[in-house]
């Protein structure tokens, strides 16, 4: 799901910037705020897809220590890393939630023709935190159930 959404938002961002060029060059129209919408869209794409990297274990990691360890050691290490990631994900969820709350209170919006209240795009932060938490939990679960399969999952960096 977040995969499709991530791709879609990337497409929307490209389309918005393209539309801005066409409006300016062909119709001599400038609308401030289109850039903001495009960057919001690209940011959504990045943050929604981040959890997918956890699910597929494709985020860039350093594997020195793991390569030195036995199977048992690698399992312990992977558990430690997953718990660490769970902590970061939960912290992001909390921090993102506070950010949205803060923006609701602060009431600021983007300047220019299109005024977007900041809390709206910032909702992506707690959503991303929640998705990351979910995916990390899933990985921990499968680490418990099928440790060997998880340990042999794709090399870091590889995209499916």
Partner 1 sequence: QEIVFKLAHEAPATAIKGRTADLFAELVAKYTDGSVKIEVYPGGQLVPTVEEIRAAARGQVDIIAPYTSYYSSIDPLWDIFYQPMLFSSPKQAMEVFSGEIGQKLLANLESRRLKGLAIWHDGPVYTFTTDKPATTPDVLSGMKVRVAPSKPLESMLSKAGAAPISMPATEVYLALQQGTVDGVVTTPTYAAPARWGEVLKTMTRALWGVGGYGVAMNAKSFASMSAEQQEGFLRAMKEATEWNQAQTLENIAKSESMLKESGMTIVDLTDEQKAAWMPLAEAVWAEQSDDIKAMIDTIRQ
Partner 2 sequence: MWLSLGLFAGGALLGAPIAFALVLAGFGYMLVAGDYPSSVSAYLFATLNSSTLLSIPFFILAAEILNQSGATRSLVKMIDAWIGHNSGGLPVVAVVAVAFFSAICGSSAATAAAIGSIMIPEMIERGYGRRFSIGLIAAAGGIGILIPPSIPLIVYGMVAETSIAALFSAATLPGIALAAILCAIAYVVGRRTETARSPRRSWAERVTATRRSLGILFLPVIILGGIYSGIFTPTESAAIACIYALLLAVTVHRVSLTALPRMLTTAAATASMVMLILAAANLFSYGLTAERVPHAVFEWLMALELDRWQLLLGLMLFFVLAGMFLEVISIILITMPILLPVLAASGIDPIYFAVLLVVNMELAVITPPIGLNLFVISAVSGVPVTEVIRGAVPFVAVIVVFLLALMYLPGVERLVLSW
Alpha-carbon gap, residue 115 to 21, rounded angstroms: 21
Task: Candidates 59, 108, 146, 158: give the one binding partner 1 (CB under 8 A).
Answer: 108
User: Scanning residues 32 to 91, which ones bind partner 1 (CB under 8 A)?
Assistant: 32-35
- Of partner 1, partner 2, none, which one sits near residue 104, judging by CB under 5 to 8 A according to partner kind? none
- Of partner 2, partner 1, none, which one sits near residue 9, judging by CB under 5 to 8 A according to partner kind? partner 2
Residues 6+ apart with CB under 8 A from 12: 38, 41
Alpha-carbon gap, residue 122 to 124, rounded angstroms: 5
Task: Candidates 113, 138, 146, 155: give the one binding partner 1 (CB under 8 A).
Answer: 113
CB of 65 to partner 1, least distance (A): 34
User: Scanning residues 20 to 79, which ones bind partner 2 (CB under 8 A)?
Assistant: 20-21, 25, 35-36, 38-40, 42-43, 45-47, 49-50, 52-54, 58-66, 77-78
- Of partner 2, partner 1, none, which one sits near residue 133, judging by CB under 5 to 8 A according to partner kind? none
Task: Candidates 81, 114, 116, 151: give the one binding partner 2 (CB under 8 A).
Answer: 81
Of 30-38, 67-75, 87-95, 123-131, the window that binds partner 1 (rule: CB under 8 A) is 30-38
104 binds partner 1 (CB under 8 A): no
Q: How many residues bind partner 1 (CB under 8 A)?
A: 19
């Amino acid at each position: 799901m977040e995969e499709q959404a991530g791709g879609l938002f990337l497409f929307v961002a490209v389309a918005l910037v393209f539309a801005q060029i066409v409006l300016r060059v062909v119709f001599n129209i400038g609308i401030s705020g289109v850039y903001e919408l495009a960057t919001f869209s690209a940011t959504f794409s990045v943050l929604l897809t981040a959890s997918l990297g956890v699910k597929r274990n494709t985020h860039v990691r350093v594997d020195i220590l793991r390569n030195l360890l036995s199977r048992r050691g690698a399992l312990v290490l992977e558990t430690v890393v997953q718990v660490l990631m769970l902590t970061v994900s939960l912290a992001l969820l909390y921090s993102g939630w506070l950010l949205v709350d803060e923006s609701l209170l602060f009431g600021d919006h983007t300047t220019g023709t299109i005024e977007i209240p900041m809390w709206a795009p910032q909702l992506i932060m707690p959503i991303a935190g929640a998705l990351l938490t979910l995916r990390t939990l899933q990985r921990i679960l499968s680490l418990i159930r099928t440790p060997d399969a998880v340990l042999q999952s794709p090399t870091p960096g590889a995209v499916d």
